[in-house]
Structure formats: C-alpha cells, structure tokens
Structure 1
C-alpha cells in the first residue's frame, strides 16, 4: 500500500475536497448525476481559467482506474450530499473521502444507497466496517486524510497523484445545489 503518492492531500491548498470512486460507471454518467451537462478534457489550469472560483458551482474533475471512475471536487463539493450519494451509488459501489475546510475527514462505503461503512479516521464511527482498522493501522504515523486515501486507493487500485489531478481530465462545472446532511 503506497502512502507517499497521497501526501499532496495533506497540503494546505487542499484544505477541503471530496474524492468519490464509483465502480463500473462512465465519467459522463457521473457528471450527469451531479448536474453537469457536458465534459471537456482540460488541465486544472485550463479549468480554473474556464471556471474561475468566483463562478458558483462545483468543479468536477473525472478520470478512471480500471473499473473505477473517480470524481475530484476541491471547491463547493456536492457528491457528498445525501441526494447525490443516493444517485451515485444506485446499482453500484461508491467509496468516498471528504475533507472539510476545518480538517474533518469522513470515509464512506455505500452500495446501492446503503451505507456499509462510515467513519472519521481516528474519530467517530457511524457504521463500522473493514476499512476503518486498515486506516487506523496507519495512524498516527500519517495524517488522517493521507492514511484514508492510501487505504481507499489500495481498495480501488488507484494511484491518484498531483500530476494526474493537475493534468488533462474530463471537467465540468455543476450548478447543482442540494441540501447537506449526514447519511
């Protein structure tokens, strides 16, 4: 299990983000579930010019690893909202990590709308499962977000480094605004 490639997540620039992995989904279907009409291949720099932070909405950056699609949101995430979780996980498995601006980290494993596991690494456990002890084994040697990403990345076979996130990915801005809430 690699931890080093996930160190970027502990940097200040990524104070808050949501990273969602979905099994056997296409990027366009994920974007549509999150309220975006179309995807354009662009680098992060191009995306930030096309969709400046002053423009409201969630910036969706999507790619794939084998049978898994990922969606990375680092401003105004919506994939971690209850209605989106239900849509995204319908008929599939969803693994998701959210880090709020205040540093709270939440890991979710949802299958067809049913929460199989949900917890804060090193903190509250809402629904216990097999990922939590694997992440706990990496604490406190690594930050909660880096440990969580290393385990979830291992689970889905993803090595999502900064070069990938900064590179050309399917990108869209979603205007969707849904209520927050815990599931």
Structure 2
C-alpha cells in the first residue's frame, strides 16, 4: 500500500521545462555546484540495485533505442515538446534517471511502483518553486513530503529521509535537500555525472503513462501524521495550469 498524495498536488507540480540560456549551460561546473537542483523543473529518481536498462524499462523506454549523450548534446538533439528525455546512469549500487528536458514522467505512481518493486526508490521532484520528496520500498510509499512543511509529511512508520533532510535546518534550500538525500543514500550526486555523457533516450508522448494510473494509496489508518498539524494542499487539476512557453536555447521564447 502507498501513502496518500492527492493527484491535485502532483498535477500542480507539472509544467513545461523552461530552459536556461545557452550561456548558463556552458558555465564550468563542479561537483560542489548543485546547478541541477536549482532548475525550474527537476525530476530525479534513484533506485537501489537496479541496472540502467531496468530503470529505463520501468519508465517504458528501451536501452536499445538510447544514445550516449551529454546534457548539452541531449538538449541540442531533442525538442522539449516531443516527449520527455530520460538520462540514466549508475552511482555505486544505485541507478538513477534524470529528467531535464520535457514534462517529467518519473513522479507518476505507476512509474514509482515499477522502479521500487523489490527494492527502494527515492524521488526528488521540483517545479515552480514547490518540491516533493518520495521514498518507496517494494511499491509502497514509505515517506512523502514537501521539505520544510511538516504538515505534509506522510510516513509509514519511521521517516529517516525527512530526518536526514532536516538535520541541519527546518527550512532547507534545494541544495540542502539534495545533501540530505545524499546523506540518506550514502552517495554523492555528482554534478559532473548529470551533465556528462549518460544513456539517453526520448520517451514519446504516446508512450507515457496517464498521471492517475495505479493509485496505490492506503486507507487513512495506515498513514502516520504529525499530531495537531494540517493537511495537504487542495484540488488543482492539469487543465487549470497555464503552461509557460518553452524557451529556445538562446533564451528567446518560441
């Protein structure tokens, strides 16, 4: 059984990727510069003991169709409005999928259930200034929350990922959120890795999973809530979103 997350909140987070100017992409990066965590839209899943091929399969893509591209090459190759670009790789025993081009796919319940089947998956998903972190084990959502907002915390038992992210401050920045995830995973999410050559494949729009497929939410009695705190955000549907225009690589709008 998974934890309750209203499709409204999930839908509210969705938006088209607004690409940074090309001059920003070409700036030198360091492992200490978490540039990717500060982008307008970021979706990163990390799964224990999975291969790159298994991760892509969970998303509905095939490694056979993939190319080995840097992030810059992927942005030059694939338009953001023709599906989503999946970039997968390995960090020690964890396999990850980074989505930086197109409307993200990895936050969907069906994808997360497949990724975490028989193992553990952590998801970092941010859009338009709102961030949601998930932790799933064998298809069940063990933690889900918006960092810095304790009333959104839903946990099945303990909440070690929440504790790791909030170990230094009650209102973590995007960089501190990532550092907390790294501490929990005992790995470093290397910015060079995310910008460098990775197994890259485009998932076409007709291959994507509908957002509400496979709702694995449990009944309320299975969910631990912080006593005396409020609930989640109210309804917000995909049709209510005013999608921002996609930007060209020189920063001008289409």
**Alpha carbons 2:83, 2:202 under 8 Å: kept:** yes
2:67 pairs with 1:48 = no
**Alpha carbons 2:166, 2:180 under 8 Å: kept:** no
- Give the number of equivalent residue pairs: 175
The alpha-carbon deviation at position 33 of structure 1 amounts to 1.4
Deviations along 1:93-150, whole A, 9 cap, x unmatched?
A: 00111102x211111110011111111111121226112122123336751x222211
- The runs of 5 or more residues in structure 2 that have no matched partner are 1-30, 218-254
Task: Output the TM-score relative to the length of structure 2.
Answer: 0.63
Match of 2:180 among 142, 151, 162: 151
- Tell me which residue corresponds to 2:197: 168
- The runs of 5 or more residues in structure 1 that have no matched partner are none
Task: Output the TM-score relative to the length of structure 1.
Answer: 0.85
The alpha-carbon deviation at position 41 of structure 1 amounts to 1.0
- Tell me which residue corresponds to 1:68: 94
Deviations along 1:19-63, whole A, 9 cap, x unmatched?
A: 100111111111121121232211112212221224x21111111
CA RMSD of aligned residues (A): 2.1
Residues 87 and 10 (structure 1), Cα distance of their counterparts in 2 relative to 1, 3 Å cut? closer
SS at match of 1:5: coil
SS at match of 1:94: strand
Higher Cα radius of gyration: 2
2:205 pairs with 1:180 = no
The alpha-carbon deviation at position 6 of structure 1 amounts to 5.5
- Tell me which residue corresponds to 1:116: 142
SS at match of 2:209: coil
